Amino acid sequence: MKTNNLFLPSGCVLRRAKSADSWQIKLLVFSAKLDPTQLRWEQFWVIECDKNLVACGQLRNFSEAQELGSLVVTPAWRGRGLASFLTQYLIHTATQPLYLECLGQRLAHFYSQFGFVPISFEELPRSLKNKFGLSELAKKLIRVPVVFMQYQER
Ligand SMILES: CC(C)(COP(=O)(O)OP(=O)(O)OC[C@H]1O[C@@H](n2cnc3c(N)ncnc32)[C@H](O)[C@@H]1OP(=O)(O)O)[C@@H](O)C(=O)NCCC(=O)NCCS
């Protein structure tokens, strides 16, 4: 499992989101066309670099499960390990079995470096089957390359 990216670039800090971050978080998530549900700032962690909010991610809460979601890094800061750092931090913050859905093999490979493994729709807990039902339909009907994953501690 990948355990590098344990440091952020200098000038960057990870912190819990504040209410004042709410619109910037929404802007990041909407501009990346990610799932617009459960965007409560209280659930988010953000990375600030040179005092600008440049990345966010969250744990959505479901019955007996959490979903790692809303992972976005602003384009100018991509490729410097911010998403890797945030992903590992969120994994360690999770208090329930942890799942995610992502689009395409490149992202699935990204998450697999940190201990996520692809699972079938049937293996999801009921609360997430309810949420991901449409994705599964799109995957079956029009071959949208959705991958469901579960974090498996090694
Ligand atoms: C995916 C994303 C969060 C990565 O952020 P980052 O800080 O650049 O990531 P890191 O520097 O920690 O790691 C780089 C890795 O991210 C993954 N990645 C980067 N851009 C990607 C893209 N456009 N599509 C899929 N995976 C990507 C790759 O695995 C990459 O490693 P590689 O260059 O060796 O292939 C960022 O590109 C982003 O915000 N994309 C738009 C939103 C999104 O798709 N979020 C994921 C939702 S499941």
Percent of the chain with pLDDT over 90: 94
Which of 63, 65, 25 shows the shortest CA–CA distance to 43?
25
What is the topology classification, in CATH, of domain 12-151? Answer: Aminopeptidase (3.40.630)
Indicate which atom in ligand 1 lies nearest the CA of residue 113: 29
Q: Helices in 5-93 by DSSP H: which ranges?
A: 22-31, 82-93
Q: Output the six-digit token pair for 98.
A: 């942890």
pTM (2 d.p.): 0.95
Lining ligand 1 with CB less than 6 A are: 32, 34, 71-73, 78-84, 102, 106-107, 109-110
Name the residue of 37, 84, 110 to mutate for ligand 1: max ligand atoms within 8 A of Cβ.
110
Q: Output the six-digit token pair for 111.
A: 């998450």
Q: pLDDT tens-digit profile of 22-75?
A: 999 999 999 999 999 999 999 999 999 999 999 999 999 999 999 999 999 999
Q: Give 5's pLDDT tier (boundaries 50, 70, 90).
A: low
How much is the pLDDT for 40? 97
Across 90-99, b (16+ Cβ under 10 Å) vs e yields bbeeeeeebb
Cα 83 to averaged position of ligand 1 atoms, centre (Å): 7
Cα 107 to averaged position of ligand 1 atoms, centre (Å): 7
pLDDT at 2 over 70: no
Question: What's the CA gap between 13 and 17, in Å, rounded?
Answer: 12
Cα 32 to averaged position of ligand 1 atoms, centre (Å): 11
